[in-house]
Amino acid sequence: LSVSFFDQFMSTTYLGIPLIALALTFPSILYPTTSTRWLNNRLLTLQNAFINRFTHQLLLPLNVAGHKWATLLASLMLFLISLNMLGLLPYTFTPTAQLSLNLGFAVPLWLATVIIGMRNQPNHALGHLLPEGTPTLLIPMLIVIETISLFIRPLALGVRLTANLTAGHLLIQLISTAVFVLLPLMPTVAILTATVLVLLTLLEIAVAMIQAYVFVLLLTLYLQENI
């Protein structure tokens, strides 16, 4: 039974087509595209207002040199939110519950920030590896520790997103299984458990949005350190 709980995270295929490929392309269908009309419809106006507000909040910690990343970061935010939210629907597959996919997002973007720092201001980028005023005996140890912490950043980004989504999906499945088991035996307890399930689902909706925001926000902080 414990193995079946993790079957929902397997990348299955249907008619020879990997579902992860369909899930990655589906969010692009949901969002309306801009038109040539003078006035946009309500949905497009609401979407543009959300993107503008989010981009404004996202660029607050960045200086002017980092504003060129606005399109990339806003697109990544919408993409992650869409995948996380779609994964909460019944009988759906959640691509962002796969660590390999999240590392595929985290590693190249983190590496881009590091390369930008090494290219534009190498002395300042290397200076992060050794705090000012460090005792001489601690210098080799601190350099090793700071280097390890630098390379752990993309792993932490991917694991944080994967762990939060995986834990939420497992809790929902465990509690829903408990509801079905308790319903014929103890209906009152089953109703209370179902109430907890509804509240947990609302919490997971918030987690799906917050984790996407945290993923992109940490990338902006890494970028700010290197520009």
Helices 70-86 and 42-58, axial angle in degrees (round to 10): 120
Pairing between β-strand 17-18 and β-strand 13-14 as defined by DSSP bridges: antiparallel
Choice between 19 and 89, residue whose per-residue pLDDT is larger: 89
- Tell me, letter by letter, the H, E, C secondary structure of the chain: CHHHHCHHHCCCEECCEEHHHHHHHCHHHHCCCCCCCCCCCHHHHHHHHHHHHHHHHHCCCCCHHHHHHHHHHHHHHHHHHHHHHHCCCCCCCCHHHCHHHHHHHHHHHHHHHHHHHHHHCHHHHHHCCCCCCCCHHHHHHHHHHHHHHHHHHHHHHHHHHHHHHHHHHHHHHHHHHHHHHHCCCCHHHHHHHHHHHHHHHHHHHHHHHHHHHHHHHHHHHHHHHCC
Give the pLDDT of residue 1: 43
CA gap 158, 96 in Å, rounded:
9
Average pLDDT over residues 120-135: 75
AA identity, residue 25: T
Report the C-alpha gap between 179 and 102 in whole angstroms: 32
Query: What type of residue sits at position 91?
Result: Y
Which pLDDT band holds residue 112 (cuts at 50, 70, 90)?
very high
Residue-averaged pLDDT of the chain: 83
Q: Confidence band (pLDDT; 50, 70, 90) for 9?
A: low
The pLDDT of residue 156 is 92
pLDDT score at 5: 66
Interval 88-111 mean pLDDT: 87
Residue 8 pLDDT grade (very low, low, confident, very high; cuts 50, 70, 90): low
Give the tens place of pLDDT for each residue, 147-205. 888 899 999 999 999 999 988 888 888 898 888 888 888 888 889 999 999 999 999 99
| Whether residue 32 has pLDDT greater than 60 | yes
In the block, residue with structure tokens 């970061």: 73
CA distance 79 to 71: 12
| Percentage with pLDDT > 90 across the chain | 23
pLDDT of residue 75: 86
Residue 3 has pLDDT above 60, yes or no: no
pLDDT of 130 > 90? The answer is no
What's the CA angle centered on 154, arms 103 and 225, to 5 degrees? 140
> What's the pLDDT score for residue 174?
87
Q: Give the model's pLDDT for residue 2.
A: 44
- Residue 83 clears pLDDT 50, i.e. is over it: yes
Mean pLDDT of 47-52: 83
Which residue did the predictor score with more confidence, 79 or 136?
Answer: 79
Place of tokens 């939110």: 81
